[in-house]
Amino acid sequence: MKIDKIRVYQKRCFDIVLSSFGLLVVGWLIVVAYLMASWDTRSHGIFKQKRVGRNGHVFMLYKIKTMKNDSVSTSTVTTSRDPRITRVGRLLRKTKVDELPQLWNVLKGDMSFVGPRPDVPGFADRLTGTQSIVLSVRPGITGPATLKYRDEENLLAAQDNPERYNRDVIYPEKVRLNVEYVNNWTFWGDLKLICRTLVG
């Protein structure tokens, strides 16, 4: 189902107001987390990664860095046992403080508060047919797939082959949930998902 312009405008206005307010309220926490991450990783405390957004537009996603630099590993799949995650990083990931810089992505218009999580180039390229509707909306900080797999890192850590399990089991289910979200989007539905994220 195509989202009409009025609802797109409504969603965007909500994102601008809430992200602006959020940055004012938690800006100090982002600065503290950045300083902690810079000290802990001995590098710049902001993690930047290219992600695929609305209409296939590639943008730079921002997070607080929680992992040590590793030129050996090329995997985009992270488990809870990943040795690259630092001690401070584990705390930041557990509390989701590492996700707060994405408020800037929302304010800029790269992302929305609710929507499909943005994939890295390569995974997004696998969307075909009716699945491509996922790229018709701005990706989100949270959404149905994010909530279902909020313990994804622990789930992957329990697998013999995390990358294969992510590719063959988790990713297809996320795509299904994301397509369902786009086809049935409502403003009130977004509010419910935000509330579920906060209480979770």
- Residue 126 CA neighbour count, 13 Å, CB half: 10
Angstrom distance (rounded) from CA 18 to CA 61: 18
Contact call for residues 47 and 135 (beta carbons, < 8 A): no
The answer, as to whether pTM is greater than 0.75, is yes
Q: What is the pLDDT of residues 40-58, one digit of tens each?
A: 999 999 999 999 999 999 9
Confidence of residue 1 (pLDDT cuts 50, 70, 90): very low
Ramachandran quadrant class, 129 (left: phi over 0; alpha: psi -120 to 50; beta: rest): left
What's the total number of domains in the chain?
1
Report whether pLDDT(23) > 60.
Answer: yes
Q: What is the pLDDT of residues 142-188, one digit of tens each?
A: 999 999 999 998 899 999 899 999 999 999 999 999 999 999 999 99
Domain that holds residue 25: 5-199
Torsion of CA 157, 158, 162, 166, to 10 degrees: -100
